[in-house]
Homo-oligomer: A and B are copies of this chain.
C-alpha cells in the first residue's frame, strides 16, 4: 500500500524513520517516540495511533511496533490498555527532582514535603553525648551489611512500635525510605516485571520503576483504599508480581485504610501470592496505628519504615522488616546498593530509640501537626479537603475547571508552591484532579497560614 493513502487520514502521530541502517527498526521507532514525548510534541493524555495502523503506515510488522512501544512503556512514558489504545502517561514532564526548590526563594513551600525540623535539636544533643564516649571510632569501622546487631535490635523496637513483630535477623538497615525502596525493587523485581500501585503514588516509586524497567499498573483509589476488584483482575490477567502500598497516610492523598480494607487487601495478597512492598513512612503519625499489612500477611510483605520524617530528615536510616522468603535477596540488594547504611547515623538513631527520645520527638511532631491541620481545616474546610487531621500533608480536590498543573501555576504566581496530581499520576490517570499541600514544610505556622490564605483566595475567586 503506498504511503500516500495515509496523507488525508487522521493519525495523531506520524513518525518518519530515517533508517540509517545502523539502528534496528524497533529501536528507531522507540527513540523517535521518546524524543517526541520529551520535546513536548506529544503531551500527557494524547492518544497514539493503534499499533496495527502504525505498522501499516511504517510498513513494518505489528510486533515491531509493539516492541518499540514496550520499550517506552517500561520507561513509564506511555501506557497501553488492551481494547482502548495507547496513551502518553499523565505524569510525563512532571517528574522533577524530589527536593528541587530552585527559584522558590520568595515562595511559600507547600510543595516538596519536609518533616518538621525543630526536633533536630534532640539529634544534635544525642550526637554530642555519643561523642563523649571513648570507643566511638569503632562505629566508623565496617560491620555487617544488614546493620550491627545492636542497631537491628533498636529497629526491632521501632517496628514493634509500628505494630510489627520481627526478629533482628530479619531486619535490614538502609539509607532511608527511597533507598529501601530501591533495594527492595532491585532485589525482588526484574526489568519487565509488573507492580501494581495506586493511581496516585509517591513519585519516588515512579522514578525507580522508570530506571529499572519495572512497569507500574495503576489501581484506582476507592474511599481511601484500593479497588480490589481491579487489582484482582490485574493479577489474573496481567501477571502482576507485586504491589506497592502505603496504608497509613498515603502519599499524596493522606488517606488511611480502615481495618476492613486492610483485611480484604491482605486476603488478596495471600490468595494471589503477591509480593507486597508496604510503605510505613507516615505510620508514626497515628497515636494508635492500625496493624500494618505486614502483620496480616506476614509471609508476603516487606515493611519499609524510615525515620527521616518521624525523627530527622538528616538521619538517612530506614528499617526494613523482611519476610523469611525474601530476607536473603533483600540483604543481597542492600549489599549491592550500599554495602552498609551510614553507621554514624544508624548509631544515633539507635540511641534515640533506646533512650526514649524518639517517642518524645514523635509526640512533639504530632502535637505541632495537629495544630497545623486545624489551621488548614479552618482555611480550606469548605473545600474538598481530604486526609486525616494528624497528617503531614493534605489533599485538596480541585473544583471543576482546574487541572493540577494549571492550579499549580496559578498558586505559584501568587507565591505558593503546591504539587498537582500529575506529579503523582501513574498511567493514564483517570482521577479527580487535586493538589497536595505539604503543611509541615513551612518553617512556621504563620507562614503556613499565609500560604493557606493565598490558596483560599485563589479558590474563592475562580
Could you tell me which A residues sit within 8 Å of B by CB distance?
Answer: 97-100, 112, 114, 117, 120-121, 123-124, 127-128, 131, 136-137, 139-145, 175-176, 178-179, 182, 186-187, 190-192, 204, 207-208, 211-213, 312-316, 331-333, 335-345
Closest residue of B by beta carbon distance from A306: B339
Question: Do B211 and A186 have beta carbons less than 8 Å apart?
Answer: yes
Question: Do A97 and B191 have beta carbons less than 8 Å apart?
Answer: no
Question: Do A316 and B336 have beta carbons less than 8 Å apart?
Answer: no
Please list 6 pairs of residues, one from A and one from B, whose beta carbons are closer than 8 Å in the complex, sorted by A's number.
A120-B137, A124-B131, A176-B339, A178-B338, A207-B335, A342-B345
Closest residue of B by beta carbon distance from A96: B335
Question: Do A121 and B98 have beta carbons less than 8 Å apart?
Answer: no
Q: How far is A211 from B143 in the complex, measured between Cα atoms in Å?
A: 23
> Which of B136, B145, B204 makes the CB contact (< 8 A) with A98?
B145
Q: Which residues of B contact A191 (CB under 8 A)?
A: 190-192, 212-213
Q: Which residues of B contact A127 (CB under 8 A)?
A: 127, 131, 344
The 6 closest A-B pairs by CB, nearest first: A140-B314, A191-B191, A342-B342, A120-B137, A207-B336, A120-B140
Closest residue of B by beta carbon distance from A122: B137
Of A187, A331, A343, chain B has the most CB atoms within 10 Å of the CB of: A343
Question: Do A313 and B137 have beta carbons less than 8 Å apart?
Answer: no
Q: Which residues of B contact A117 (CB under 8 A)?
A: 137, 140-141
Closest residue of B by beta carbon distance from A336: B207
Q: Which residues of B contact A139 (CB under 8 A)?
A: 314
- Closest chain-B Cβ to A182's Cβ sits at a distance in Å of 5
With contacts A178-B336, A342-B175 known, is A141 near B97, CB below 8 A? no
Question: Do A137 and B114 have beta carbons less than 8 Å apart?
Answer: no
Question: Do B99 and A208 have beta carbons less than 8 Å apart?
Answer: no
Question: Do B178 and A313 have beta carbons less than 8 Å apart?
Answer: no
Closest residue of B by beta carbon distance from A335: B97
Question: Do B136 and A124 have beta carbons less than 8 Å apart?
Answer: yes
> Which of B120, B313, B336, B339 makes the CB contact (< 8 A) with A211?
B336
Question: Do B97 and A123 have beta carbons less than 8 Å apart?
Answer: no
> Which of B97, B128, B313 makes the CB contact (< 8 A) with A332?
B97
Q: How far is A143 from B447 in the complex, measured between Cα atoms in Å?
A: 20
Q: Which residues of B contact A100 (CB under 8 A)?
A: 145
> Which of B112, B175, B211 makes the CB contact (< 8 A) with A187?
B211
Question: Do B141 and A337 have beta carbons less than 8 Å apart?
Answer: no
Closest residue of B by beta carbon distance from A135: B124
Question: Do B207 and A312 have beta carbons less than 8 Å apart?
Answer: no
Q: How far is A8 from B178 in the complex, measured between Cα atoms in Å?
A: 55
Q: How far is A136 from B117 in the complex, measured between Cα atoms in Å?
A: 12
With contacts A191-B213, A212-B186 known, is A316 near B340, CB below 8 A? yes
